[in-house]
Structure 1
Amino acid sequence: MKKHLLLISTLAITLISAQNNEALKREFERQNKENNERFDSYVARRYGSDRSPETQKLIQEMRANLAGFSGDVPNFYQTDDQNQIFNNNVDAITTAGGITGLATAFKGEGIKYTVFDGGRIYAPHIAFSNAPNRITNMEADTNEYSSHSTGVASILGAMDSPLQTKDQNGNVTGSGNAKGIALNSTMDSYRFAQTTLPSGLTTDIFGKILIAQPKISNHSYGVNPGWTYGTTSSGYPYNAWYWNGNYISGNNYDLMGTYYTTDKQYDAIVYNNPTYTIVKSAGNYYAYGPGYNGTTSNAYYFTSTGVSPYPAGAAPAANCSQGYDCIGYGSLAKNIIVVGATNVISSNNNRYTASTDVVKASYSNAGPRDDGGIKPDISAPGTNIWMASTAENTTGSTTWQINSGTSMAAPQVAGIIGLWMQIYKSLFNNAELNAAASKTLMVHSALEAGNIGPDPWYGWGFINAKKGAELLVGKSNNTVIFNNETLNNGTVNTKTIKASGSEPLKVTLSWIDPEFTVSNQWSELYNNRNSRLINDLDVRIINTTTNTTYFPWKLDANSPMTPATKGDNIVDNVEQVVIDNPTPGTVYRIEVSHKATLKNNAVPAVTAPQDYSILITGFNEVLGTQETGFGALNGIAIAPSITKDITHILKAPKKSTFSIYDLSGKKLQSGTINNDKEPVDLSSYTKGIYIIEIKTNKEVISKKVIKE
Structure 2
Amino acid sequence: MKKHLLLISTLAVALVSAQNNDALKREFERQNKENNAKFDSYVTKVYGNDKSVETQKKIEELRANLAGFSGDVPNFYKADDQNQILNNNVDALTTAGGVNGLSTAFKGENIKYTIFDGGRIYAPHVAFSNATGRITNLEAATNAYSAHSTGVASIIGAKSSPLTATSNGVPISGNAMGIAVNSTMDSYMFATTTLPNAITTSTVFDKILIAQPKISNHSYGTNPGWDYKTTADGYPANGWYWGGNYISGTNYDLQGTYYTSDQSYDAIVYNNPSYTIVKSAGNSYGFGPGYSGSTTTSYYYNGSGYTAYPTGTAPVANCSQGYDCIGYGSLAKNIIVVGATDIITTNNYRYTDALDVVKSSYSSAGPRDDGGIKPDIAAPGTDIWMASTAENTTGSETWQINSGTSMSAPQVTGIIGLWMQIYKSLFNNAELNAAAAKTLMVHSAAEAGNVGPDPWYGWGYIDAKKGAELLVGKSNNTIIFNNETLTSGVTNAKSIKASGGTPLKVTISWVDPEYKITSNSWATLYNYRNSRLINDLDVRIIDTTTNTVYFPWKLNANSPMTLATKGDNTVDNVEQVVLDNPVAGRTYRIEVTNKGTLVNNAATPVLTPQNYSIIVTGYNEVLGTKEATNTASGIIVAPTLTKDIVNVIKAPRKSTFTVYDLSGKKLQNGVINNEQETINLSSYTNGVYIIEVKTDKDVISKKVIKE
Q: Please indicate, yes or no, whether the TM-score normalized by the shorter chain is above 0.5.
A: yes
AA partner of residue 19 (structure 1): Q
Contact 1:625-1:700 at 8 Å conserved across structures: no
Aligned: 1:454 with 2:453: yes
- How far the C-alpha of 1:675 sits from its partner, in A, is 6.7
- Residue pair 2:623, 2:632 contacting (<8 A) in 1 also: no
Letter of the structure 2 residue corresponding to residue 334 of structure 1: K
Distance 2:420 2:11 in 1: 23
Partner residue, 1:400:
399
Specify every segment of 5 or more residues in structure 1 that has no aligned partner in the other structure, as ranges.
Answer: 638-648, 658-671, 677-692, 704-708
Deviation at 1:700, TM superposition (A): 6.8
Matched residue of 2:505: which SS? Answer: strand
Q: Does 1:29 align with 2:23?
A: no
Q: Provide the secondary structure at the position in 2 that maps to 1:25.
A: helix
Superposed CA deviations along residues 235-270 of structure 1, whole A, max 9, x for unmatched, are 111111110100000000000000000000000000
CA drift of 1:283 comes to 0.2
Q: In the alignment, what sits opposite 2:686?
A: none
* Whole-angstrom distance in 2 between the partners of 1:402 and 1:5: 50
The match for 1:129 is 129
In the other structure, the counterpart of 1:626 is 626
Residue number in structure 1 paired with 2:335? 336
Following TM superposition, by how much is the alpha carbon of 1:481 offset from its aligned partner in structure 2, in angstroms?
0.2
**Which residue type is aligned with residue 196 of structure 1?**
T
The residue number in structure 2 matching 1:537 is 537
Deviations 1:265-312 (A, max 9, x none): 000000000000000000000000000001000111112221111111
Deviation at 1:652? Answer: 5.8
> What does residue 614 of structure 2 align with?
614
Deviation at 1:633, TM superposition (A): 5.2
In the TM superposition, 1:295-694 aligns within 5 A as: 295-518=294-517, 519-627=519-627, 634=633
Asked if 1 retains the 8 angstrom alpha-carbon contact of 2:269 and 2:334, the reply is yes
2:472 & 2:581 partners in 1: Cα distance?
Answer: 24
Structure 1 residue identity aligned to 2:25: K
- What secondary structure is seen at the aligned counterpart in 2 of 1:490? coil
Counterparts of 1:116-155 in structure 2 under 5 Å?
A: 116-155=116-155
Q: 1:191 is matched with which residue: 183, 189, 195?
A: 189
Paired residue secondary structure (2:516): coil
Paired with 1:31 and 1:517, the residues of 2 have a C-alpha distance of 13
**Deviation of residue 15 (structure 1)?**
1.4
Distance 1:627 1:66, change over 3 A: same
Q: Is the 8 A contact 2:486 2:612 kept in 1?
A: yes
In the aligned structure 2, how far is the partner of 1:418 from the partner of 1:431?
13
1:286–1:362 contact (8 Å) kept in structure 2: yes
* Aligned 8 A contact 2:224 2:253 in 1: yes
Provide the rounded CA distance (Å) in 1 between the counterparts of 2:149 and 2:578: 39
Q: Which residue matches 1:103? A: 103
CA contact (8 A) 1:341 1:364 kept: yes
Query: Could you list the per-position Cα deviations for residues 80-138 of structure 1 after superposition, in whole angstroms to 9, with x for gaps in the alignment?
Result: 00000000000000000000000000000010000000000000000000010000000
- Whether the 8 Å contact between 2:625 and 2:631 is mirrored in structure 1 is no
Summarize the Cα distance change of 1:437–1:47 in structure 2 as closer, same or farther, 3 Å threshold.
same
SS of 1:345 mapped into structure 2? coil
CA distance in 2, matches of 1:479, 1:4: 28
Deviation of 1:166 after TM superposition, in Å, equals 3.4
- The DSSP-based 3-state class of the residue aligned with 2:482 is strand
Q: Which residue of 2 aligns with 1:74?
A: 74
CA distance 1:6–1:440, shift in 2 (3 Å): closer
**SS at the partner of 2:237?**
coil
Unmatched 5+ stretches in structure 2: 637-647, 658-671, 677-689, 703-707
Pick closer, same or farther for the CA change 1:130–1:10 going to 2, 3 Å. same
Of stretches 537-546 and 306-315 in structure 1, the one that deviates more from structure 2 is 306-315
Deviation at 1:232, TM superposition (A): 1.2
Given residue 569 of structure 2, which amino acid in structure 1 is its aligned partner? N
Question: How far apart, in 2, do the equivalents of 1:252 and 1:14 lie?
Answer: 46
Distance change >3 Å, CA 173–CA 216, structure 1 → 2: same
SS at match of 1:417: helix
Deviations 1:610-636 (A, max 9, x none): 0000000000000000159xx995267
What is the rounded CA distance, in whole Å, between the counterparts of 1:702 and 1:49 in structure 2?
A: 66
Q: Distance in 1 between matches of 2:5 and 2:458?
A: 43
- The aligned counterpart of 1:173 is 171
Q: 1:308 to 1:95 in 2, by over 3 A?
A: same
Residue 4 to residue 373, structure 1, CA distance change in 2 (3 Å): closer
Matching residue of 1:666: none
Rounded to whole Å, the distance in 2 between the matches of 1:540 and 1:16 is: 32
Which residue identity does 2:425 align to in structure 1?
S
Partner of residue 643, structure 2 = none
Q: Distance in 2 between matches of 1:56 and 1:124?
A: 33
Partners of 2:674 and 2:651 lie apart in 1 by 9
What SS does the aligned partner of 1:340 have?
strand
Contact kept? 2:627, 2:701, Cα under 8 Å: no
Alignment deviations for residues 539-579 of structure 1 (CA, whole Å, 9 cap, x no partner): 00000000000000000000000000000000000000000
Compared with structure 1, are the counterparts of its residues 252 and 167 closer, same or farther at alpha carbon in structure 2 (3 Å cutoff)?
closer
Aligned residues: 661
Residues 8, 447 of structure 1: alpha-carbon distance in 2 compared, 3 angstrom cutoff: closer
Contact 2:384 2:401 in 1 (8 A): yes
- Asked if the contact 1:506/1:618 (under 8 Å) is kept, the reply is yes
Distance 2:132 2:363 in 1: 36
Contact persistence 1:280–1:410 (CA under 8 A): yes
Query: Which amino acid letter does the alignment assign opposite residue 467 of structure 2?
Result: G
2:669 aligns with none
Give the whole-Å Cα distance in 1 for the aligned partners of 2:204 and 2:64: 10
Q: Secondary structure at the match of 2:592?
A: strand
Secondary structure at the aligned position of 1:103 is classed as coil
Distance 1:513 1:255 in 2: 22
* Alpha-carbon distance in structure 1 between the residues aligned to 2:595 and 2:41: 44
Contact 1:656–1:673 under 8 Å retained in 2? no
Per-residue deviation, 1:521: 0.9
SS in 1 for 2:13: helix
CA deviation digits over 1:339-365, x for unaligned, max 9? 000000001100000100000000000
4+ runs of 1 displaced by more than 6 Å? Answer: 1-5, 654-657, 672-676, 700-703
Q: Structure 1: how far apart are the matches of 2:451 and 2:567?
A: 15
Q: Give the counterpart letter for 2:404 in structure 1.
A: G
In the TM superposition, 1:162-241 aligns within 5 A as 162-166=162-166, 173-200=171-198, 201-241=200-240
CA shift for structure 1 position 490: 1.1
Q: Per-residue displacement from partner, 1:147-183 (whole Å, max 9, x unpaired)?
A: 0000000000000000000379xx7611001000000
Cα distance in 1 for residues equivalent to 2:428 and 2:78: 40
1:656/1:694 contact within 8 Å kept:
no
Percentage of identical aligned residues: 74
Q: Post-superposition shift, 1:702?
A: 11
Q: Helix, strand or coil: the match of 2:621? A: strand
TM-score normalised per structure 1: 0.90
TM-score, length-scaled by structure 2: 0.90
The amino acid of 1:42's aligned partner reads Y
- What is the distance in 2 between the residues matched to 1:653 and 1:612? 29
Give the counterpart letter for 1:293 in structure 2: S
Would the aligned equivalents of 2:214 and 2:276 in 1 still touch at CA under 8 Å? yes
Is residue 158–residue 183 contact of structure 1 (8 Å, CA) maintained in 2? yes
Letter in 2 for 1:532: R
CA contact (8 A) 1:536 1:570 kept: yes
Paired letter, 2:381: G
Aligned-residue CA RMSD (Å): 2.5
Taking the aligned partners of 1:551 and 1:6, their CA distance within structure 2 comes to: 35
Which residue in the other structure is 1:645 paired with?
none
